[in-house]
Structure 1
């Protein structure tokens, strides 16, 4: 395969063509760089207007990951280069990534995402925006931004708020890892298909007579996916979220966010999944936990366009703040896992400090034209 960070192909079908996108940086688990975001945006724009391209298939190279997120180390370099901002590279990255995510969510043609292996952060943003999201037996999804003092962005404010019960808030605060069954239950995925069927699925897609009407082509994609999903029923793993729904809802039933955080951290549990979620929040940034909760609350009734505008505002303020740089340093740069968070508990955070993250840092939102 090419050494390009993304490989684009047009595969001839019986009638029409299928665009194929392969995120191609397996050494970094296909993590997105600004170059990759721009390449993907340009190709999506071109294929949207090409009447011969009927659908797009998006995958990651290698067996380990679809996409493990964004290039956080590059964001860190940008943040520490200009403390307090503007952090030009990081802010450009967020703006252009969110624009690309919005393009995916609103794309008229079928987008089939093969969400195999690790799907985290920016990778989940890509998958969540596609119209036909496939997960496999190796899919592992997480939005662990609380551990580096970021927040579940790339549309997380949209899809987390649309999950059942308090699931979205719990996953956002704890960064808990979920699998394919959980993705189906929470609405992050549409089909479970065992990975062994991927070559046959692509072959079936190429045997179709595609239409010039995107509505007909969405039906064709569903027709192609359905039999492989039916054949894969016996391979689907047991879920974690649905069996724990009562506990999740109870833990997140607090008079305020501080009580919710206390509930999760104070758990005495032998359940390994709940224990990992508890420990992740306990060791994460309490300031980040507060802006994560506030962001979800403020966008709970927002449109998709408003969600990405709100995320651009919060991400800009976060990357200009030293808490983010310290979180990335401790987890990914020095890897000492000993972040010097500014506040020991969520109750220590002054209200004015939290408010500052929700004020516009510029005269006009860079996504105002969405």
Structure 2
């Protein structure tokens, strides 16, 4: 059977449910309608005995694969911030619920992470039992570049990367290759680009009642790849274990090595407020369950969109300004408030972690 639900294509072949994100002109950036379609589909397949596993891929303008998912629809966020549209409230609640569903899915869930996999794309792939990358994969959580923080359970999965690489990835938004993603624990196997279609088709022929058949499929289509060590790993652990953002950046600036200077310059371009918030997020999440982290991130994103403690309107937020500079006006000159990391106070940051809801009526209170 096959169905088209907005920009999500679904099909059952054999014992596998197949999902194709079909918004290629926007690199499959997630809309609320797509999130609802994915959730509805996964909930139905969870209870459907015919479906023993799920596979998900993206598409580009030329056809399947090529781009997995570039994240959430940031232009929608920008318009909502300027107009006062409350629909992002539903977007984030339902997106984080979907992220939790994928992380806790009781059946194999295979994410074909070809091409761009960023932000919300990480949210619908990091919980997969099989995270499949290719030589074209570009993997990142670049939210600090748009005045946001790495959400969609980013606190949970980045904080569990080796050493202090999670802080580095979260603060800088650095893009990883397939081999680097495997080294960071953010991917499992690598596929040849030109073998993806064959691997996808072959899944429909597998008898998942035979425990070794999925392992045989992996052995057939996945290639050996050396986990590529991150450049300057020792320096990353040294600098990104420091107490705070100011200590990290100033220490990097005092180091004359090219890597340190480039990293410091990169951080100086990010939202100072969001850098402080993100560092606190990653370090808190390291000691949280998945559900606890998602509830924390839901609190944080509410304050990012409605920062009353900063006496700002939605249109005056770091997120509105970051998206304007990167994706709307494209001048790449965001005017952050505060403009400097040294001017961010603890009170500005701590209030983002205050929940606007009582525990029993939190939008994600049902997550286990």
Fold equivalence (TM over 0.5)? yes
Whole-angstrom distance in 2 between the partners of 1:240 and 1:276: 19
Secondary structure in 2 aligned to 1:8? strand
Shift of 1:228: 2.0
Work out the CA distance in 2 between the residues paired with 1:317 and 1:56: 35
CA offset at residue 261 of structure 1?
Answer: 2.8
Q: CA deviation at 1:248?
A: 0.8
Report the counterpart of residue 227 of structure 1 in structure 2: 220
Instruction: Note the residue ranges of structure 1 that are not aligned, 5 or more in a row.
Output: none
Find the residue that maps to 2:124 and give its secondary structure: helix
* Rounded Cα–Cα distance in structure 1 between residues aligned with 2:79 and 2:253: 32
1:255–1:210 Cα change, 3 Å: closer
Deviation, structure 1 residue 240: 5.5
Question: Match for 2:228 among 225, 234, 239?
Answer: 239
Taking the aligned partners of 1:101 and 1:276, their CA distance within structure 2 comes to: 33
Q: Is the counterpart of residue 361 in structure 1 residue 356 in structure 2?
A: yes
Structure of higher RCO (CA pairs closer than 8 Å, 6+ residues apart) = 1
Question: Aligned in 2, Cα 1:237/1:6: closer, same or farther, shift over 3 Å?
Answer: farther
Query: Aligned Cα RMSD in Å?
Result: 2.1
Within 5 Å, give how 1:116-195 maps onto structure 2: 116-195=114-193
Aligned pairs for 1:205-354 within 5 A:
205-211=203-209, 220-229=213-222, 232-233=223-224, 236=225, 239=228, 241=230, 243-264=231-252, 268-270=256-258, 277-321=263-307, 322-354=317-349
CA contact (8 A) 2:167 2:279 kept: yes
Alpha-carbon shift at residue 189 of structure 1 (Å): 0.7
Question: Quick one: distance in 1 between partners of 2:39 and 2:294?
Answer: 16
Inter-partner Cα distance in structure 2 for 1:238 and 1:310: 32
What do the CA deviations read for 1:57-112 (whole angstroms, capped 9, x no partner)?
A: 10001254100010011112222223xxxx52112111100000000000001111
Is the contact made by 1:146 and 1:281 (CA closer than 8 Å) also made in structure 2? no
Deviation, 1:5, is: 0.6
Say which SS state the counterpart of residue 357 (structure 1) adopts: helix
Distance 1:277 1:116, change over 3 A: farther
For residues 141 and 344 of structure 1, the distance between their equivalents in structure 2, rounded to whole angstroms, comes to: 28
Aligned length: 350
1:67-146 matches, cutoff 5 A: 67-82=69-84, 88-146=86-144
How far apart are the structure 2 equivalents of 1:8 and 1:275?
47
Task: Give 1:200 shift.
Answer: 2.6
Question: What's the offset of the Cα at 1:347?
Answer: 2.3
Shift of 1:279: 3.5
CA distance in 2, matches of 1:122, 1:68: 7
Over 3 Å counting, the alpha-carbon distance change for 1:264 and 1:125 in structure 2 is farther
Q: Quote the Cα distance in structure 1 between the aligned partners of 2:19 and 2:253.
A: 41
